[in-house]
């Protein structure tokens, strides 16, 4: 499991347009990398809209936002269009990035075990170092919680 002060693992993933996004491209800026379960589900929509509602404040602070889930680019495009999301959503279809970030694992809901993303957010500094990890996320208030740490 990753910890604060460690180097954030590099990744390259396609965004909603199919363009490959590399974490390294954001050196010199802080980056919020948030892992979420699925486009257009209740909690994930609240979380994404929270970032949308505070997006201007993140931009003023030179902070990029990247959302990552297992959804494909078509699903991401629809999610972005439906909720007017101003940031990129990345597709981790093969679970590689979620696995190296330690956020893919077993969950138990209603007595059933399954593998999924554990809703987690990483604040990565200008040099690619993990500055803060949010392991307990309140979806509707998450952007505000992240801004309080900045």
pLDDT along the chain (150 residues), means of 10: 96 98 97 96 96 98 97 97 98 96 87 88 98 95 96
Which pLDDT score, from 0 to 100, does residue 99 have?
Answer: 96
Give domain status of residue 4, yes or no.
Answer: no
Give domain status of residue 7, yes or no.
Answer: no
Q: Is 44 a catalytic residue?
A: yes
Which pLDDT score, from 0 to 100, does residue 24 have?
Answer: 97
Given the residues 8, 44, 85, 146, select the one marked as catalytic: 44
Which pLDDT score, from 0 to 100, does residue 109 have?
Answer: 76
Give domain status of residue 124, yes or no.
Answer: yes
Per-residue CA distances from 59 to 26, 49, 56, 100, 131 (Å): 13, 15, 5, 27, 18
91, β-bridge pairs: 69
Domain region containing 74? 12-149
Which pLDDT score, from 0 to 100, does residue 112 have?
Answer: 85
128, β-bridge pairs: none
As for how many domains the chain has, the answer is 1
CATH number at residue 26: 3.40.30.10
Which pLDDT score, from 0 to 100, does residue 146 have?
Answer: 97
Give domain status of residue 5, yes or no.
Answer: no
Give domain status of residue 51, yes or no.
Answer: yes
pTM of the model: 0.95
Which pLDDT score, from 0 to 100, does residue 106 have?
Answer: 86
Give domain status of residue 68, yes or no.
Answer: yes
């Amino acid at each position: 499991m990753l910890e604060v002060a460690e180097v954030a693992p590099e990744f390259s993933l396609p965004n909603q347009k199919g363009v490959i996004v590399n974490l390294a491209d954001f050196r010199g800026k802080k980056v919020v990398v948030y892992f979420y379960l699925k486009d257009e589900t209740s909690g994930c929509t609240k979380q994404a809209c929270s970032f949308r509602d505070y997006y201007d404040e993140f931009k003023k602070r030179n902070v990029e936002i990247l959302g990552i889930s297992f959804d494909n680019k078509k699903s991401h495009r629809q999610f972005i269009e439906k909720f007017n999301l101003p940031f990129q959503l990345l597709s981790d279809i093969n679970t590689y990035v979620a696995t190296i970030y330690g956020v893919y694992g077993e969950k138990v809901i209603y007595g059933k075990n399954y593998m999924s993303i554990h809703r987690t957010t990483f604040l990565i500094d200008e040099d690619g170092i993990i500055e803060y990890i949010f392991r307990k996320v309140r979806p509707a208030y998450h952007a505000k919680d992240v801004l309080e740490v900045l």
